[in-house]
Amino acid sequence: MSWGILILAGIFEIFWATGLKYSEGFTKLTPSIVTIVTMSISFYLLSLSLKSLPLGTAYAVWVGIGTIGTVIAGIFLFNESINLIRLISIILILLGIIGLKITTN
């Protein structure tokens, strides 16, 4: 259950990180509200997962999911560049997340 909550927290991190771009420095009301709400949900879910998961593992996985998702969102939503080094880097982050999951009791 904690891993599912942590994954959901990471997904909400993608939304708030992407929302930061749309909020344009919190100058646009609706994207700013969405960003703050999804940020709050993400932090809350992370805190729930920390009841039974190790801090270092949970935080690294949360950030990793957010990083991978935000890079992918940037590519598709904001036309950011995609190249071999970026793809390899995303794969390495994913492998790190999988490694942390496998080695955590």
pTM (2 d.p.)? 0.91
pLDDT by residue, tens only, the chain of 105 residues = 999 999 999 999 999 999 999 999 999 999 999 999 999 999 999 999 999 999 999 999 999 999 999 999 999 999 999 999 999 999 999 999 999 999 987
For residues 17 and 66, the answer to whether their CB atoms sit within 8 Å is: yes
For residues 63 and 8, the answer to whether their CB atoms sit within 8 Å is: no
Of the CA atoms within 13 Å of residue 35, those in its CB half-sphere come to 16
